[in-house]
Amino acid sequence: MRIDGKFGFWFLLLFGLTLTAMSLIKNQEETESEDEVVFCTMDVKECPDGSFVSRDPSKNCEFFPCPEARDR
């Protein structure tokens, strides 16, 4: 099966433009969702070493990790 040169050109052009448009739309949606402001409660967690950590808005308001215990 042989595809006409003009048809192949227009098909590839349309296919490329479609992929480009889909990529741009996806990137725009990701950028919009990253701009959302997240507010977490102001509670804190006490770590084993006695320090405190607050919540991380970029990780669904999970607590930040406690500092690693050091040998004294």
Structure tokens that stand for 24 in this block: 């741009």
Distance CA 65, CA 54 (A): 9
Using the CB atoms, write b or e for 36-57: b if 16+ within 10 Å.
eeeeeeeeeeebeeeeeeebee
Provide the 8-state DSSP code for 33. Answer: H
Q: What is the pLDDT of residues 19-71, one digit of tens each?
A: 888 888 877 766 555 668 889 999 999 999 999 999 999 899 999 999 986 55
Q: Is the pTM of this model over 0.85?
A: no
Q: What is the pLDDT of residues 9-25, one digit of tens each?
A: 888 888 888 888 888 88
